[in-house]
Amino acid sequence: MRLHASRAAVVFAAALFLTRSAGAQQVTKPTVPGAMNFAKLETTVACGGATTPEAVPELKKMGFASIINLRLPTEPGANIDAEAAAAKAADIKFFSIPFSGQSPDPAVADRFLAAITTKGNEPAYIHCSAGNRAGAMWMIKRLVVDRWETEQAFTEATALGLTSPALKQFAIDYAQSHKR
């Protein structure tokens, strides 16, 4: 009887471990010329910082279906029109969804979720100037759409570039007021 109980405990522990880790994906940080702070999940998404139009063909080769640019048009070096043109030339969907880290707007998160959850837009490359805002938006997606626990979503978002406590709190507050 004890042997049976021990086996059951081991099987239960293994099942619990596999269930908890099944949702998490490995984050890697390959070098992509023209894309700062590039951090990629195994299959779903990559987040990064300032990205030049010259990086777009490489993103296409990597299999990305869309680019979601969170930079404000007024940011230094944010050449949104040139990046959009490069995306069009490479046949990648391009979304400009300006997101201010100083005054985050829930309507921007709504637009981001609409873009990221539309069939055919993943895998997506999401970027801002450093990766911080991109990580925050991905955390929102994990909390609202995938219904992850806060700490699990925060751990992944941190690996992807989230550094701001204020944006972490924005993501948590948004998720709590936008449960699906």
10-residue averages of pLDDT along the chain (180 residues): 34 31 70 90 86 97 97 96 98 98 98 97 97 98 97 96 98 93
CA distance 158 to 146: 17
What is residue 43's predicted lDDT score, i.e. its pLDDT?
66
Q: Please report the pLDDT score of residue 155 as a whole number.
A: 96
Q: What is the pLDDT of residue 22?
A: 41
> 155 with 139: CB under 8 angstroms?
no
For residue 164, the model assigns a pLDDT of: 98
66: helix, strand or coil: strand
Q: What is the CA radius of gyration of the chain?
A: 18
* pLDDT at res. 40: 86
CA distances from 123 to 24, 32, 139 (A): 16, 16, 16
What is the pLDDT, as a whole number, of residue 15?
31
pLDDT the model gives residue 14: 29
The CATH code for residues 25-177 is 3.90.190.10
Specify the pLDDT at position 2: 41
The crossing angle, in degrees rounded to 10, of helices 165-177 and 106-117 is 70
**What is the structure's pLDDT at 23?**
54
